[in-house]
Each structure stands twice: as C-alpha cells, then as structure tokens.
Amino acid sequence: MTITALSCNSKIVPDQSWGNQRWVVTELRGIPVQLSSTRKDAYLSFTPAEKRFGGNAGCNRISGNYTLEKKNGIQLGEVISTKMSCDDIAFETSFLSALKSANQYQVQGNTLVLKHNGEILLKFLSRSEN
C-alpha cells in the first residue's frame, strides 16, 4: 500500500495563511483610514476552509462567502450586515461598496489589497487573532 501525502502550498491554496488574522482596513479608495488600535476598527477575518469571511464595517457586523479564481481573482458574495444606526455611515457604505466591487486580490507581506480591474479599492494590515 502506498500513501501519498499532499501538502497545501500558497499556489494551490493562496488563502491558506489568511485564517487566524484580523485584516484591519488601513486605506479605502486611496484615502488612509484613521485607526483607533481597538477592536472597533473596520476589519475582515477569513475562514479559508469554509470560504467565509466576517468582520466589522466600522459599526455593523458583516459576513459572507468568497471564492478565489485564477490569476488572483476574488469574488465576495452577498454581504450580510446588522443594521445598527451609526455615526459614520458614509464610511461603512463606501467600505461595503468597495467589498462588493472587488474582483482581484494581492498579498504583500502582511498587507492584503483588494482591487477592481487593477484599481486599488482597499488595503488591509494583518493582525494575529490570538
């Protein structure tokens, strides 16, 4: 009997390293986002095994599914959100719009960039969830 071990590498499963990270938004459509360094900053967390994401859009909790495609393609499915009243709803609306528009991703060290046809929409900085 022969047993073959397969390992998942970043080329086969590029989102493998995205789990256990809180991807905090640092830039939205070219504008730096002021961070409070608290758990209230807008962020995404990914669960690669289930192809799901969750997080906070600045006020409301969000979640949804995602799929990865060839050549660094990404599609974030319908975003489910709580509907609390927020002081900065304009930021949240723009953030959710950017997520919906994203069709490409790029990871550079501890930075995740979401793009639409090459145009940078969002930049995130990873922070360990532990």
Q: Which residues share a beta bridge with 80?
A: 63
C-alpha distances in angstroms, 34 versus 26, 60, 100?
7, 17, 22
Query: What pTM value is reported for the model?
Result: 0.86
User: CATH code for 16-128?
Assistant: 2.40.128.270
pLDDT of residue 12: 60
* Residue 42 near residue 58, CB atoms below 8 Å: yes
Domain borders along the chain are 16-128
pLDDT of residue 103: 98
pLDDT higher than 80, residue 5? no
> Which is more confidently placed, 4 or 44?
44
What's CA 122's distance to the chain center, in Å?
9
